[in-house]
Structures are given as C-alpha cells and as structure tokens.
Amino acid sequence: MTYPALLVDVTIFVLALWVGFEVISKVPATLHTPLMSAANSIHGIVLAGAMLIAVTADNTVGYVIAFLAAAFAAANVVGGYVVTGRMLKMFRRRPALPATPAATAVVAGAAEPSPNGKGPAA
C-alpha cells in the first residue's frame, strides 16, 4: 500500500528528532556555543524552501515575500557557517607557539623539577 505523504513526513520528522537527541547528547558542554551556532546554520536549509517559493511567485506580494525569505535564509546559512568556523578555529590544544610566552615557559618549566603534569590532559 502507499502511505499518505503527511504520514511519511511525520515518520521522517520523528526519526530525525531521535537521531538528533542521540547525536547531540554526546556533544561536550565545552562546545555548546559552536553546537548551537552549527545547528543555526543547519536550519538555514530553509533557503531551499525560500528558493522554491520564488518559482511560484507571480505577483508583487509574492515576490516581496520570496525576496525577504531568500535574504533571511541566506543570511542565516552563510553567517551561521562562517561564525561557527571562526569559533572552532579558536579551540586549540595548545596556543599557537610564537604568540605567547607559554612556549618558552614549557621549556623553562621542564628544566625545574615539577611534579605536575603540564602536558595536555587528554
């Protein structure tokens, strides 16, 4: 038998929700801001919807709606991905070597007796 489109859609929606819960509950709190920003860019997929309504628009109101929808969605998707990338670039295991005195500090620290492990905790 064939199922009504709405039923298929609801099935996909519910299963995707569960996948989302499973995947996202494993993201550490350290990355929650980039996670939200990444989720933000993913809902920018509404751009696909905005593009499709430009096809059926045939009057001024329709065009205005299509224009606004395309602009909103494009801002969402482009801004979201760029800012997520910018944030994630900052998460480093060790700071960039020449940037801070930390690099020399590691060398100096290694010379003196130090019971504390100063290497990466992972």
Site for other proteins in 25-64 (CB under 8 A): 25-58, 61-63
C-beta of 107: minimal distance to other proteins in Å? 10
Please give the C-alpha separations between residue 109 and each of 35, 91, 97, in angstroms, as whole numbers: 35, 24, 15
C-beta of 77: minimal distance to other proteins in Å? 6
* Angle formed at CA 20 by CA 16 and CA 25, multiple of 5 degrees: 160
C-beta of 3: minimal distance to other proteins in Å? 13
CB burial of residue 77 (10 Å; 0-12, 13-18, 19+) = buried
94 binding other proteins? (CB under 8 A) = yes
97 binding other proteins? (CB under 8 A) = no
